[in-house]
Amino acid sequence: ARADRRHHLPTLAQWVERRRWPAAPRLGALRTPVMLAVGAQDDHRERAPRLAQLFHDARLVTVPGDGRAALGAPELVSQVARFLVPPAG
């Protein structure tokens, strides 16, 4: 049986934490708002704030579940909608 390789690949947060991702120092130069989402039960949720700090304008949202479950969470859909179309006023 073939092993699921996704679980063996380092996450973006791990690369940043280990300073092995060459683009990490340049993330602060991005002036486009960025939304980062993490699942409340995600294995790497404690790394998310550090990753968000690398960006000039990042919004970090936490949604229920782990990384895979979070992708289908209605809370994520509403967070993305608010990020893309902020309330008028």
The candidate with the shortest Cα–Cα distance to 38, out of 8, 5, 7, 68, is 68
Whole-model pTM over 0.85: no
Cα separations in angstroms, 53 against 24, 66, 71, 77: 11, 22, 22, 23
Across the range 45-68, mean pLDDT stands at 86
Share of the chain above pLDDT 70, in %: 74
- The dihedral built from the CA positions of residue 54, 41, 68 and 11, taken in this order, carries a sign that is positive
Residue 9 has pLDDT above 60, yes or no: no
Please say whether the beta carbons of 38 and 44 come within 8 A: yes
Residue ranges of the domains in the chain? 5-84
pLDDT band at 35 (very low <50, low <70, confident <90, very high): very high
Cα separations in angstroms, 37 against 2, 54, 89: 29, 15, 25
